[in-house]
Structure 1
Amino acid sequence: MLSDNLIIQFPKIGSEQQGYISIAEVGKTCPFEIQRTYWIYDCPEFMKRGGHAHRHNLHQILICVAGQVEVALFDGVEKKAFTLDNPTMGLYQPPLVWGDLIYQQNSVLLVLASKLYAAEDYIRDYQEFLKIAHSVREG
C-alpha cells in the first residue's frame, strides 16, 4: 500500500521583493542520499511520460519547479494521483511503484534520485510490473 506520507514540504525562504530559495537536504527534507539529479523540460502540452517502475532500491523525489505535472503512482494494489505545481512541494516515489506523468506546456520537473542510472533497473512492461509487484507483496 502506498504511504500517506509521500508529500515532502521544502522550506520557502525569502520574500516577494527578493525572490525565494527552497532547499533539499539529505537527512532533513530528503530521506536518502542523492546520487543523481535530472530535469525534464520542453515537453509538448499534455505529454505523457514515465510509464515505468524501478526493480531495486531506487528512491526518487519529483519536484515541479515550473508549470504543472499530474502524477499517478501505482504500487500494484493502490493508485494515488497528485498535482505538482509548487516548487516547495516534492513527491516521494518509492521503489517498485509505477509512475505515469502528464506535463503541461512549459513545465520543468526536477528529480532527485538515490541511485545512478541503470537501464536494467527499469520495468517498462506494465504486465511484468504487475507480476513482480504482486509476488513481492505476497512473499
Structure 2
Amino acid sequence: MASPPDTTARPPGGWPVHIGQAAARSGVSAKMVRHYETLGLLAPVARTDSGYRLYTEADVHTLRFIKRARDLGFSMADIGELVGLWHDQGRSSAQVRQIAQRQLQALEERIAQLQAMARSLQGLTACCHGDDRPDCPILDDLAGL
C-alpha cells in the first residue's frame, strides 16, 4: 500500500511556485516578473538546481503591490520607493503620502491636457462638414493653416 503524500514539506497553497504560477497568481506576465526582478523591485528569488526561479507567497504579494501601483500610473522609480517604504516598518506615512500626492498632481495635469485635447477635437469635428468636398478644417488645423 502506498503511503500518503507528504503535505508537511510544502505549506498550504503550494509555495514556492515557478514563474508561470507566480505570474498567474499576481496578474503580471512572466516577462514583467523577470523585468521587475531585474529592476530590483522584486528581491532576487531562490532557484532550483536546474535554475528555475521559485517564488514565495511574499514575492507574489509584492508582485500584486507592483501591479496595483502600475495600475495607478506610478513610475517605476516611484514604485521602487513605495516598495522600499512598504517593507520598511520604520517608515513615516508622510513619505508615502508625498509620493501619492505627486502622482495625483501628475494625473490631474494629464486629465486637464486630455480635456483640452477633447475640446479642440470637438470644435474641429463640429467645423468639418464630413461630406465629399476636399476642404477639411481638421486637416487644415493639423497642418497649421
Do the two structures share a fold, i.e. TM-score over 0.5? no
TM-score (norm 2): 0.25
More relative contact order, 1 or 2 (CA 8 Å, 6+ apart):
1
TM-score (norm 1): 0.25
